[in-house]
């Protein structure tokens, strides 16, 4: 019997690649979060990606009463990052997501949790760093019945030390449907091309020597 894994799927380039890595060895269940982000396009794209991969999924709605993040507060501007930690940072987001994923994984008997965190081509978020995931792995061993009884729910971050170009090349070998992914912090018919997420996506495809299929499709 193939082991189960919970995969955090945002609909973006990194999380879609992570799903296709996970499905090589696990039967995947995708968690998609509606946490009050500016637009729902990434949620709809995540659903499409999960379906295409043959994975079951669930959308979890969370009401985060936050005002400091421009991903939630529409009164704040989104632009290129000029700070070490940008205004698009959502306080505690990955900790919240991973905690829910951990609870579900233990309940359903999953052996692993996958998250597409990346520490190289990223915007400086504290919860994307390797040291954060090392700490969370220790927490998993201490805070779960599986960990206390000698079992283990593994946390996989397969993209943590890869550049965007390396991620894209790996994803293409796996058949990731990048034309379905949505990275832009804004909704709309076309990516804005100005936010951090658009910047790093464009950089990745450029360095990989590949045209972004999302942009090609939308011409």
pLDDT band at 37 (very low <50, low <70, confident <90, very high): very high
Residues 6+ apart with CB under 8 A from 82: none
- Kindly report the backbone phi and psi dihedral angles of residue 94, in degrees, each rounded to the nearest multiple of 5, phi listed first: -65, -30
Average pLDDT, the chain: 92
Inter-residue contact 78 to 184 (CB < 8 Å)? no
Nearest to 23 by CA among 177, 135, 206, 140: 177
Per domain, the residue ranges of the chain are 4-217
Which fold does the domain 4-217 belong to in CATH? Answer: Rossmann fold (3.40.50)
Supply the DSSP symbol for 28: E
Residue range 45-104, pLDDT digits in tens: 999 999 999 999 999 999 988 889 999 998 888 866 555 788 888 999 999 999 999 999
Q: Cα–Cα distance between 58 and 25 in angstroms, integer?
A: 21
Token pair belonging to 183: 């990275």
pLDDT digits (tens, 9 = 90+) for 120-159: 876 688 999 999 999 999 999 999 998 888 888 999 999 9
For residues 64 and 43, the answer to whether their CB atoms sit within 8 Å is no
User: How many of the other CB atoms lie within 10 Å of CB of 173?
Assistant: 9
Specify the DSSP element, H or E, that contains 140: helix 130-143
Q: Give the Cα-Cα-Cα angle 37, 87, 213 (nearest 5 degrees).
A: 60
Most distant CA atoms of the chain, gap in Å: 55
Bridge partners of 32, per DSSP, are 59
Q: Which two tokens stand for residue 189?
A: 């018919």
Tokens matching residue 123: 């915007």
**pLDDT value for 217:** 56
Rounded to whole angstroms, the Cα distance separating 133 from 146 reads 18
């Amino acid at each position: 019997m193939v082991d189960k894994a919970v995969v955090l799927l945002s609909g973006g380039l990194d999380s879609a690649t992570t799903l296709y890595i996970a499905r090589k060895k696990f039967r995947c269940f995708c968690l998609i979060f509606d946490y009050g982000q500016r637009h729902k396009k990434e949620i709809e794209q995540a659903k499409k990606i999960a379906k295409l991969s043959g994975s079951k999924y669930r959308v979890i709605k969370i009401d985060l009463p936050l005002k400091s993040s421009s991903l939630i507060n529409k009164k704040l501007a989104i632009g290129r990052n000029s700070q070490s930690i940008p205004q698009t940072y959502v306080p505690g987001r990955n900790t919240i997501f991973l905690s829910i994923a951990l609870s579900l994984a233990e309940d359903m008997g999953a052996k692993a949790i996958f998250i597409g965190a990346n520490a190289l081509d990223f915007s400086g978020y504290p919860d994307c760093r390797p040291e954060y995931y090392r700490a969370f792995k220790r927490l998993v061993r201490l805070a779960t019945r599986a960990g206390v009884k000698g079992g283990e729910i593994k946390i996989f971050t397969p993209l943590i030390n890869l550049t965007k170009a390396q991620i894209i090349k790996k994803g293409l070998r796996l058949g990731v449907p990048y034309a379905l992914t949505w990275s832009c912090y804004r909704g709309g018919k076309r990516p804005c091309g100005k936010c951090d997420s658009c910047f790093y996506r464009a950089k990745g495809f450029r360095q990989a020597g590949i045209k972004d299929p999302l942009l090609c499709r939308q011409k």
